[in-house]
Amino acid sequence: MDAPIVSTSLPFLAGTAVAILVLLICSAIFSGSETALTTANRGKLHNRAGRGDRGSQRALRLTEDKERLIGAILLGNNLVNIMAASLATMIFTAVLGDGGVAVATILMTALVLIFSEVLPKTYAITNAEVVARRVAGFMTLVVLIAAPVVTVVQVLVRGILRIVGVRAVGSHPFAAHQEIAGAIALHHYEGTVETADRDRLLGARDVPDPVVR
């Protein structure tokens, strides 16, 4: 049976190009959201959330389960990237024949790398809290929709890790202590925390929890 013929009419090609552009924008949103939500300063978000900022409140809730958040983002990002690449391959092979596959691969790799990865991630990492607040509502919806698939993937991944002898663990109190110590050291290095304050804060961090008798 002959392969279906793809239209090369101008309206069809223009419509497909617009669809690819929309998918690349979606990919950029996913990439920027991942960077912003995983690097945003939780202290700043807490401050704004305490003043009633809904975006900050949503961002904090999202980052409580980073494994599920990142799983949903990766699912959405891979989906839109594959769709964009498939559409590009379709129109380039319709216009250029078999050589269109190579052209589509090179072009889409460049577009995705520059406009859907490097550019949004660079912007997000320099404006993490702002971006996190703005995308939190959309990403909450994405996580909700992707939850069934992400749950299945998590189970499969943990099963595979268990088979190869790797134990997946959640957050550990020691990791949280190390994160706090790192933040204090950074602020001391930047000059926003005095040496005496640093030592006092680090000392308080190391005080054991009181035992209730």
* pLDDT tens-digit profile, the chain (213 residues): 444 456 668 888 899 999 999 999 999 999 999 999 999 988 889 899 999 999 999 999 999 998 899 999 999 999 999 999 999 999 999 889 889 999 999 999 999 999 999 999 999 999 999 999 999 999 999 999 999 999 999 899 889 989 998 876 554 444 455 556 666 676 667 677 677 776 776 665 454 444 444
Domain ranges of the chain: 10-157
d(CA 148, CA 182): 36
Q: What's the pLDDT tens digit per position in 53-68?
A: 999 999 999 999 988 9
Distance (Å) of CA 1 to CA 5, 93, 100:
12, 19, 22
Helices 128-163, 66-96: axis angle to 10 degrees equals 90
Tokens 């690349």 sit on residue:
24
Give the tokens for residue 164.
Answer: 């190869």
91, 7 contact by CB (below 8 A): no
Q: What is the pLDDT of residue 208?
A: 45
Of the candidates 103, 178, 165, 136, the residue with the CA atom closest to the CA atom of residue 32: 136
Tell me the whole-structure pTM to 2 decimals: 0.75
d(CA 29, CA 120): 7
d(CA 21, CA 49): 34
| CA 62 to chain CA mean position, Å | 11
Q: What's the pLDDT tens digit per position in 10-57?
A: 888 899 999 999 999 999 999 999 999 999 988 889 899 999 999 999
